[in-house]
Amino acid sequence: MKTDVLVETSVNPTPVSLYYPLGVKQKKLPVYINLHGGAFIMNEKEMDDPYCRFLANEAGCVVLNVDYAKAPEFPFPKPIEQVYDILQWVKGRADELNIDAGKIMVGGQSSGGNIAAALCLSLEEKEEDQPLLQVLSCPMLDFVTPHGDKPEPDKWRARYPQVAHFLNLCYVPLKDQAEHPLASPVRAEVSASLAPALILIAEFDAFRPEAECYAEKLKTAGVSVQDVLFEGCSHAFTHLGPRERAEEAWQLIAMKIKAAAALEQN
Protein backbone atom coordinates (compact mmCIF):
# COMPACT_ATOMS: atom_id res chain seq x y z
CA MET A 1 0.00 0.00 0.00
CA LYS A 2 1.29 3.44 -0.94
CA THR A 3 0.27 6.71 0.72
CA ASP A 4 1.35 10.16 -0.49
CA VAL A 5 1.80 12.98 2.03
CA LEU A 6 3.03 16.57 1.92
CA VAL A 7 5.28 17.28 4.91
CA GLU A 8 5.93 20.84 6.06
CA THR A 9 9.63 21.43 6.67
CA SER A 10 11.84 24.46 7.30
CA VAL A 11 13.02 24.22 3.68
CA ASN A 12 9.77 23.73 1.76
CA PRO A 13 6.64 21.54 1.72
CA THR A 14 8.06 18.13 0.89
CA PRO A 15 6.26 15.34 -0.98
CA VAL A 16 6.87 11.93 0.57
CA SER A 17 5.44 8.50 -0.17
CA LEU A 18 4.97 5.83 2.46
CA TYR A 19 5.02 2.22 1.32
CA TYR A 20 3.52 -0.38 3.65
CA PRO A 21 4.28 -4.10 3.26
CA LEU A 22 1.50 -6.34 1.99
CA GLY A 23 -0.08 -8.78 4.38
CA VAL A 24 1.80 -7.62 7.47
CA LYS A 25 -0.48 -7.17 10.49
CA GLN A 26 2.27 -6.24 12.92
CA LYS A 27 1.76 -2.97 14.71
CA LYS A 28 4.56 -0.44 14.93
CA LEU A 29 6.63 -1.34 11.89
CA PRO A 30 10.26 -0.36 11.36
CA VAL A 31 10.78 2.46 8.85
CA TYR A 32 13.44 2.99 6.20
CA ILE A 33 13.86 6.52 4.85
CA ASN A 34 14.93 6.43 1.19
CA LEU A 35 16.74 9.24 -0.64
CA HIS A 36 16.99 8.89 -4.42
CA GLY A 37 20.00 9.74 -6.57
CA GLY A 38 20.40 12.49 -9.14
CA ALA A 39 23.58 14.53 -8.60
CA PHE A 40 21.73 16.80 -6.12
CA ILE A 41 19.98 18.61 -8.99
CA MET A 42 17.58 16.21 -10.70
CA ASN A 43 15.22 13.21 -10.55
CA GLU A 44 12.36 12.67 -8.14
CA LYS A 45 11.18 10.05 -5.71
CA GLU A 46 9.00 8.24 -8.29
CA MET A 47 12.14 6.84 -9.92
CA ASP A 48 12.51 4.64 -6.82
CA ASP A 49 8.91 3.39 -6.76
CA PRO A 50 9.69 -0.27 -7.70
CA TYR A 51 12.68 -0.25 -5.35
CA CYS A 52 10.62 1.05 -2.41
CA ARG A 53 7.83 -1.46 -3.01
CA PHE A 54 10.41 -4.26 -3.06
CA LEU A 55 12.08 -3.14 0.18
CA ALA A 56 8.77 -2.71 2.00
CA ASN A 57 7.61 -6.22 1.15
CA GLU A 58 10.94 -8.02 1.49
CA ALA A 59 12.06 -6.31 4.69
CA GLY A 60 8.59 -6.07 6.25
CA CYS A 61 8.99 -2.38 6.97
CA VAL A 62 7.51 0.96 6.02
CA VAL A 63 9.59 2.73 3.37
CA LEU A 64 9.37 6.50 3.41
CA ASN A 65 10.45 7.84 0.02
CA VAL A 66 11.49 11.51 0.06
CA ASP A 67 11.35 14.01 -2.80
CA TYR A 68 14.03 16.23 -1.28
CA ALA A 69 14.73 19.76 -2.51
CA LYS A 70 17.20 20.13 -5.39
CA ALA A 71 20.09 22.45 -6.10
CA PRO A 72 20.76 25.09 -7.28
CA GLU A 73 17.57 26.52 -5.76
CA PHE A 74 18.22 24.59 -2.55
CA PRO A 75 21.98 24.12 -2.13
CA PHE A 76 23.91 22.67 0.80
CA PRO A 77 22.90 22.26 3.59
CA LYS A 78 19.17 22.64 2.78
CA PRO A 79 18.46 18.98 1.84
CA ILE A 80 20.14 17.78 5.04
CA GLU A 81 18.05 20.17 7.12
CA GLN A 82 14.96 19.07 5.22
CA VAL A 83 15.54 15.36 5.83
CA TYR A 84 16.24 16.09 9.50
CA ASP A 85 12.84 17.80 9.72
CA ILE A 86 11.22 14.79 8.07
CA LEU A 87 12.90 12.52 10.60
CA GLN A 88 11.35 14.59 13.39
CA TRP A 89 8.00 14.44 11.61
CA VAL A 90 8.20 10.64 11.51
CA LYS A 91 9.00 10.45 15.21
CA GLY A 92 6.21 12.85 16.11
CA ARG A 93 3.59 10.94 14.13
CA ALA A 94 4.81 7.40 14.70
CA ASP A 95 1.53 6.22 16.22
CA GLU A 96 -0.71 7.40 13.39
CA LEU A 97 1.79 6.16 10.80
CA ASN A 98 2.00 2.73 12.48
CA ILE A 99 5.76 3.19 12.83
CA ASP A 100 8.11 2.18 15.62
CA ALA A 101 10.04 5.40 16.37
CA GLY A 102 12.83 3.31 17.86
CA LYS A 103 13.43 1.46 14.59
CA ILE A 104 14.33 4.10 12.03
CA MET A 105 16.85 3.51 9.24
CA VAL A 106 18.05 5.70 6.38
CA GLY A 107 19.78 5.26 3.06
CA GLY A 108 20.23 6.56 -0.43
CA GLN A 109 21.86 6.28 -3.81
CA SER A 110 24.64 8.57 -5.08
CA SER A 111 23.66 12.09 -3.94
CA GLY A 112 21.03 10.47 -1.72
CA GLY A 113 23.80 8.44 -0.11
CA ASN A 114 25.65 11.66 0.62
CA ILE A 115 22.59 13.16 2.32
CA ALA A 116 22.00 9.96 4.32
CA ALA A 117 25.60 9.94 5.56
CA ALA A 118 25.40 13.66 6.34
CA LEU A 119 22.19 13.17 8.29
CA CYS A 120 23.91 10.64 10.54
CA LEU A 121 26.86 12.97 11.04
CA SER A 122 24.49 15.84 11.84
CA LEU A 123 22.65 13.72 14.40
CA GLU A 124 26.00 12.90 15.98
CA GLU A 125 26.80 16.61 16.24
CA LYS A 126 23.42 17.24 17.86
CA GLU A 127 23.99 14.27 20.21
CA GLU A 128 20.70 12.76 19.06
CA ASP A 129 19.84 9.11 18.48
CA GLN A 130 21.31 7.48 15.42
CA PRO A 131 19.32 5.39 12.94
CA LEU A 132 19.68 1.64 13.32
CA LEU A 133 21.33 1.54 9.89
CA GLN A 134 22.67 3.77 7.14
CA VAL A 135 22.73 2.36 3.61
CA LEU A 136 25.08 4.17 1.23
CA SER A 137 24.83 2.97 -2.37
CA CYS A 138 27.48 4.32 -4.77
CA PRO A 139 27.68 7.40 -2.55
CA MET A 140 29.22 10.69 -3.64
CA LEU A 141 31.14 11.70 -0.51
CA ASP A 142 33.95 14.00 -1.66
CA PHE A 143 33.47 17.48 -3.13
CA VAL A 144 37.08 18.46 -2.46
CA THR A 145 38.82 16.17 -4.94
CA PRO A 146 38.33 17.53 -8.50
CA HIS A 147 36.32 15.17 -10.67
CA GLY A 148 39.20 15.14 -13.14
CA ASP A 149 41.31 13.44 -10.46
CA LYS A 150 38.75 10.72 -9.85
CA PRO A 151 38.90 7.39 -11.76
CA GLU A 152 36.06 8.20 -14.16
CA PRO A 153 35.42 5.17 -16.44
CA ASP A 154 33.00 7.00 -18.73
CA LYS A 155 35.10 8.43 -21.58
CA TRP A 156 32.91 11.49 -22.08
CA ARG A 157 32.76 12.36 -18.40
CA ALA A 158 36.49 11.80 -18.15
CA ARG A 159 37.07 14.11 -21.14
CA TYR A 160 34.81 16.85 -19.79
CA PRO A 161 35.21 16.88 -15.98
CA GLN A 162 34.13 20.53 -15.97
CA VAL A 163 30.54 19.31 -16.35
CA ALA A 164 30.80 17.49 -13.01
CA HIS A 165 32.47 20.60 -11.58
CA PHE A 166 29.46 22.68 -12.64
CA LEU A 167 27.06 20.19 -11.03
CA ASN A 168 29.10 20.29 -7.83
CA LEU A 169 28.96 24.09 -7.74
CA CYS A 170 25.17 23.88 -7.87
CA TYR A 171 25.20 22.12 -4.48
CA VAL A 172 28.23 23.74 -2.84
CA PRO A 173 28.41 27.20 -4.44
CA LEU A 174 30.12 29.07 -1.61
CA LYS A 175 33.81 29.15 -0.78
CA ASP A 176 34.93 26.38 1.61
CA GLN A 177 31.55 24.59 1.52
CA ALA A 178 33.11 21.65 -0.33
CA GLU A 179 35.32 20.95 2.68
CA HIS A 180 32.48 21.00 5.17
CA PRO A 181 32.17 17.52 6.71
CA LEU A 182 28.43 17.40 6.03
CA ALA A 183 29.09 18.08 2.34
CA SER A 184 32.13 15.80 2.10
CA PRO A 185 31.71 13.10 4.77
CA VAL A 186 35.15 11.68 3.92
CA ARG A 187 36.49 14.82 5.64
CA ALA A 188 34.45 14.30 8.80
CA GLU A 189 35.75 13.32 12.20
CA VAL A 190 33.77 10.20 13.03
CA SER A 191 33.19 8.16 16.15
CA ALA A 192 31.91 4.74 17.07
CA SER A 193 28.53 6.25 17.91
CA LEU A 194 27.56 6.56 14.23
CA ALA A 195 24.93 4.25 12.79
CA PRO A 196 26.08 0.87 11.45
CA ALA A 197 26.62 1.10 7.72
CA LEU A 198 26.03 -0.96 4.61
CA ILE A 199 28.09 0.55 1.78
CA LEU A 200 27.58 -0.68 -1.79
CA ILE A 201 30.49 0.10 -4.11
CA ALA A 202 30.63 -0.32 -7.89
CA GLU A 203 33.93 -1.43 -9.38
CA PHE A 204 33.81 1.05 -12.25
CA ASP A 205 32.63 4.15 -10.43
CA ALA A 206 34.36 7.52 -10.15
CA PHE A 207 33.16 7.59 -6.53
CA ARG A 208 34.65 4.21 -5.60
CA PRO A 209 37.74 5.63 -3.81
CA GLU A 210 35.71 7.95 -1.58
CA ALA A 211 33.25 5.18 -0.70
CA GLU A 212 36.12 2.86 0.20
CA CYS A 213 37.80 5.66 2.15
CA TYR A 214 34.67 6.36 4.17
CA ALA A 215 34.13 2.67 4.87
CA GLU A 216 37.66 2.39 6.27
CA LYS A 217 37.26 5.60 8.28
CA LEU A 218 34.08 4.26 9.89
CA LYS A 219 35.69 0.89 10.61
CA THR A 220 38.72 2.54 12.20
CA ALA A 221 36.41 4.55 14.45
CA GLY A 222 34.71 1.35 15.59
CA VAL A 223 31.51 1.57 13.53
CA SER A 224 30.04 -1.72 12.30
CA VAL A 225 30.44 -1.62 8.51
CA GLN A 226 29.64 -4.06 5.73
CA ASP A 227 31.14 -2.78 2.49
CA VAL A 228 30.50 -4.80 -0.65
CA LEU A 229 32.31 -4.34 -3.97
CA PHE A 230 30.14 -5.21 -6.97
CA GLU A 231 32.60 -6.24 -9.65
CA GLY A 232 31.87 -5.37 -13.25
CA CYS A 233 29.34 -2.73 -12.22
CA SER A 234 29.20 1.02 -12.82
CA HIS A 235 27.69 3.94 -10.93
CA ALA A 236 23.98 3.60 -10.14
CA PHE A 237 24.00 -0.09 -11.09
CA THR A 238 21.30 -0.73 -8.48
CA HIS A 239 18.88 1.06 -10.78
CA LEU A 240 20.51 0.81 -14.21
CA GLY A 241 21.76 -2.76 -14.12
CA PRO A 242 23.05 -5.25 -14.94
CA ARG A 243 19.82 -6.71 -13.67
CA GLU A 244 21.31 -9.69 -11.84
CA ARG A 245 23.66 -7.51 -9.80
CA ALA A 246 20.93 -4.97 -9.12
CA GLU A 247 18.65 -7.71 -7.81
CA GLU A 248 21.49 -9.00 -5.65
CA ALA A 249 21.98 -5.50 -4.22
CA TRP A 250 18.26 -5.04 -3.53
CA GLN A 251 18.12 -8.37 -1.71
CA LEU A 252 21.19 -7.46 0.34
CA ILE A 253 19.71 -4.13 1.39
CA ALA A 254 16.37 -5.72 2.32
CA MET A 255 18.12 -8.40 4.37
CA LYS A 256 20.23 -5.79 6.16
CA ILE A 257 17.17 -3.66 6.99
CA LYS A 258 15.31 -6.68 8.32
CA ALA A 259 18.30 -7.84 10.37
CA ALA A 260 18.88 -4.38 11.88
CA ALA A 261 15.26 -4.12 12.99
CA ALA A 262 15.30 -7.65 14.42
CA LEU A 263 18.58 -7.02 16.26
CA GLU A 264 17.10 -3.97 17.97
CA GLN A 265 14.05 -5.98 19.00
CA ASN A 266 16.24 -8.55 20.66
Segment 32-50 shows an average pLDDT of 95
CA distance 208 to 218: 15
Q: What residues make up the domain containing 243?
A: 2-265
Segment 79-93 shows an average pLDDT of 98
Q: SS3 sequence, 128-193?
A: CCCCCCEEEECCCCCCCCCHHHCCCCCHHHHHCHHHHHHHHHHHCCCCCHHHCCCCCHHHCCCCCC
Whole-number average pLDDT of the chain: 95
88 Cα distance to chain centroid: 17
Percent of the chain with pLDDT over 70: 98
pLDDT digits (tens, 9 = 90+) for 9-32: 999 999 999 999 998 777 899 999
Segment 114-118 shows an average pLDDT of 98
Segment 178-188 shows an average pLDDT of 97
CA distance 56 to 88: 21
The pLDDT score that the predictor gives to residue 155 is: 76
Maximum alpha-carbon separation in the chain = 54
- 164 versus 71: which is more confidently predicted? 71
Based on the structure, what is the number of domains in the chain? Answer: 1
Segment 171-187 shows an average pLDDT of 96
The pLDDT score that the predictor gives to residue 148 is: 84
- Sign of the dihedral through C-alpha 66, 114, 197, 201: positive
What dihedral angle (degrees, nearest 10) is formed by the CA atoms of 126, 130, 136, 139? Answer: 0
Distances (CA, A) of 247 to 32, 86, 116, 234, 241: 18, 29, 22, 15, 9
Side by side, the strands of the sheet bearing 2-7 are 2-7, 14-19, 62-66, 29-35, 99-109, 134-137, 197-204, 225-234
pLDDT digits (tens, 9 = 90+) for 136-164: 999 999 999 988 888 878 776 777 778 88
CA distance 262 to 239: 27
Segment 30-49 shows an average pLDDT of 96
Identify the weakest region by mean pLDDT among 25-29, 31-35, 105-109: 25-29
pLDDT value at 266 more than 60: no
pLDDT value at 44 more than 60: yes
The pLDDT score that the predictor gives to residue 94 is: 96
CA distance 149 to 20: 43
> Which amino acid, residue 112?
G
pLDDT digits (tens, 9 = 90+) for 199-254: 999 999 999 999 999 999 999 999 999 999 999 999 999 999 999 999 999 999 99
DSSP state of 26: -
By CB atoms closer than 10 A (0-12, 13-18, 19+), residue 231 is exposed
CATH of the domain at 20: 3.40.50.1820
